[in-house]
Every structure is written in structure tokens, then in C-alpha cells.
Amino acid sequence: MTRVRILGLDPGLARMGWGVIEVAGNSLSHVANGVLTTDARESLGQRLLALHDALSRIIVELVPGSMAIELAFVHKDPSAALKIGQARAIAILAAARAGLEIAEYTPNHVKKCVVGAGHAGKEQVQAMVGRLLPVARVESSDAADALALAIAHAHLSATRARIEAALA
């Protein structure tokens, strides 16, 4: 049975959650997760470089085949939206350089896919990630969101593959 690794990313300039799962058929297993942080006292360029370097190391070490990243949504604070967009761009660049397939999902789509409700709270997402990946030690909502992105991508990719096989 083919095993595929998926990297999920919850982008942010100060805190970028990441999680890697492995998919074999209908089985999901936890590989690793964490949060990349940057120092607000450093320049924007240094913070983005730190995210890029750390994420590139994760990709080389854990060898995912694809990445699922959260689509930015409009914030009330345009400055915060811009920072998230810059962090997303760095993550997408690192994934593209590594040759990963890149998928983007809205937060509500991921919540609907993983929890069953598009407006689920962070606690509900973290609880469901814990149920789907029982051996995972997820101590941060950022990492839980990243794992939820990877899980959603796994489910949606499997559905897409079944549809393509049926049409072939």
C-alpha cells in the first residue's frame, strides 16, 4: 500500500503551526507537529528568512509529498492580514522549491471536513484532531490547525482520486 506524507501549515508571522501526517489507504497516522516562532524584535526580512529556513529543514527531514495551507481571510486589521500573507508566501515558496503539490483551503472548509461544522471553535478542532490522531501530542492550537489542514487534504485527495478513477 502506498504511503503519502502531507504537511499542513497554519501560517503566521509570529507563530506558524505545522503538522505532518502519513496516509496509507484510509488510515491516518501522526508523524510530527510543532510551531515555528519568530522574534518580533527582529526585522521583517529576518523573521521571514527564519520561517523559510525552518520550514525548509522540516520538508527535507520529513519528506512530505504535498502541503495543505490555510487560505488567508480578510482580517479587521489590514496589517495582520499582510503579515499572514507574507508568511503564506514564504511557506508556498519553500514548498514549491521542494517540488511539493500545494493545496489551499479556507478555515471553514477545513473545520467542516474535520469537525463537521464550518464554524467549529479551536477547542473542537483540537479535540477532533486528538481523536483522529490519538498518539499525537498536540499542545498548541496552531499545530492542531495545521494537522487539521493535513487531515482535510487527505480526505479531499482520497475523494478526488475516487472520482477521477470512476471517470477514467
Residues with a catalytic annotation lie at 10, 70, 142
Residues 6+ apart with CB under 8 A from 23: 3, 4, 5, 6, 154, 157, 158
Q: Are 13 and 49 in contact (CB under 8 A)?
A: no
User: Dihedral angle at the C-alpha atoms of 144, 138, 129, 74, nearest 10 degrees?
Assistant: -10
User: In whole angstroms, what is the distance from residue 133 CA to residue 138 CA?
Assistant: 10
What is the three-state SS of 75-114?
CCCHHHHHHHHHHHHHHHHHHHHCCCEEEEECHHHHHHHH
CB 6 within 8 A of CB 19: no
